[in-house]
């Protein structure tokens, strides 16, 4: 029998992938909880955030861990971007 998971990832999941949450985030927790045959994870891409470059993302990810304000700024800049989606998918 097939078992499907259809979900979306949000801010808590993105923050978890960056090591900013004490949990794995809802999506990874769901993946660990059950054995699914098929998985669909939806993500919103903000049209104005599609032009960032992965090298900029990776450079800023290191600085982001230094303070809460840097973390908030990083999340604001990169959430819902193509680079964030790639990072999250690799993290999963």
pLDDT of residue 64: 77
Query: What are 39-72's pLDDT values in tens digits?
Result: 999 999 888 876 666 678 888 887 777 778 888 8
Domain boundaries, the chain: 4-91
Phi, psi of 80 (to 5 degrees): 65, 25
3-state helix, strand, coil in the chain (%, to 5): 55, 10, 35
Q: Helix 54-64 crosses helix 68-78 at what angle (to 10 degrees)?
A: 160
The predicted-structure confidence for 4-34, as pLDDT tens digits, reads as follows: 999 999 999 999 999 999 999 999 999 999 9
């Amino acid at each position: 029998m097939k078992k499907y998971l259809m979900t979306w990832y949000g801010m808590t999941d993105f923050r978890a992938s960056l090591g900013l949450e004490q949990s794995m985030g809802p999506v990874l927790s769901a993946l660990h909880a059950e054995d699914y045959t098929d998985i669909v994870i939806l993500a919103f891409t903000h049209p104005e955030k599609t032009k960032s470059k992965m090298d900029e993302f990776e450079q800023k990810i290191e600085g982001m861990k230094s303070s809460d304000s840097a973390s908030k700024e990083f999340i604001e800049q990169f959430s819902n971007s193509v680079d964030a989606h790639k990072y999250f998918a690799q993290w999963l």
